[in-house]
Chain A
Amino acid sequence: MKYLLSILFISISFNVLAQEVYPALIDSSKTLNDAYNKSIRIDMYIDTTKNEYKGCEILVTSVFELNKGYTLKLISRKYPTLVNGGEKIHILGSSNKISLKVTNVSDGLIRLLEDSIADIYIQSDRDIFFKIKKDNIDSTLKTCKITKYQIEKYTSKKIYLTNSMAKELIEAKGGNVFISQNQIDIGVIPAENASSKKTEYTTSFKFRERYPFYSKFPLYFYTEGLVSTNSKDSLNYLSIYPVNYNFTKENYELIFQLGVEGNQTFTNYRISGNLFWNGIIPNLINLTGDEDRLRLKPVIKVGLKLYKEIKTIGLGN
């Protein structure tokens, strides 16, 4: 009985191996980044326009059934010691592509991916198998494979991030997307319009940077201001918040800030603690007159501010 089972098992194995496996043609590949799962996905598009593949679609469930126990690794030709810091790679499927998703991406790896010379690719210990079918007709069912050399070729130099994408990935924590809010505007006020009667140059800015030391807690340094060559302009201000925390829920966010706010020269400033609720409320009136229109719901910001004012003018005289 034992021998019979063994022979049966071996013959089933041979049957599986004996099935003809067609090499898949890859048309192109591209990289997508996901701020929610803090992941990077490389899509390899299967060419289904030629010969026996024409009009075929991938059977998605076959991607998971036929590929188990594989090992996929990120390799950098330039910085071999900086990758494989805990990131995981697994295979996804869809009707026209096979995708490789890199998860558990560290901030260090994201910064490395900003550097296009890191020359990163994915190495697989085996080929990826999947089934294709045309018009859901069983007789057209074929098993195909992407070889490990194709994986290397089509992921090579494809895994990189632009600066803004890298920032977004680093800042995305807890399933929410944040915007870096970093911006700088430079302007000129002609002499005839300037309060000083001289040409003035102004800069307004916002800058937010996440602290790297505790990655699970979204704590930021935040500063904003309006400064100009006329430092006595009463409109100029500087706000620096070393402690800034944002918490986002379904349709609102809660912001806590602790820092200093003052005029440009800090002759007059205050130590301030702010707590804001920033959210969306329903539209209260409808003035569309039954015309098709998109009416954005109003955003309101309510808050609490606690501060202690400090004047430095005259001190020391």
Chain B
Amino acid sequence: MNLRYYTSALTLELDSTRCVGCGRCVEVCPHGVFALMHNVPGGIGSLPHARRPHRQSHIVARDRCMECGACALNCATGAIRAGAGVGCATAIINGMIRGTAPECGCGGREKSSGCRGSNCDGNN
């Protein structure tokens, strides 16, 4: 998928000193932002020698990040930080009006417009 959005404010951060190379982030990212790669000098950071993984995760396509937060939530060592939230202007405008955090209201029984509701209906 070649579509890209604004990337200047992206919050994704990977702390390679904590990465143990388990590959969960690669497994869960829906946009192929991460890849497990053999370590390059300087990439393994401060892990004790015995615990240095053979391979570690690297951000290879930062501009595809949509801040869904799956990688950060599933990183057992807390190596990834990503501000999770909906990329939905309707939710942001609703939040501005109500003075709350962005809230699309498509959960529960509320019948509101927008949100990702319609597009992920077809996904697993």
Chains A and B belong together in one complex: no
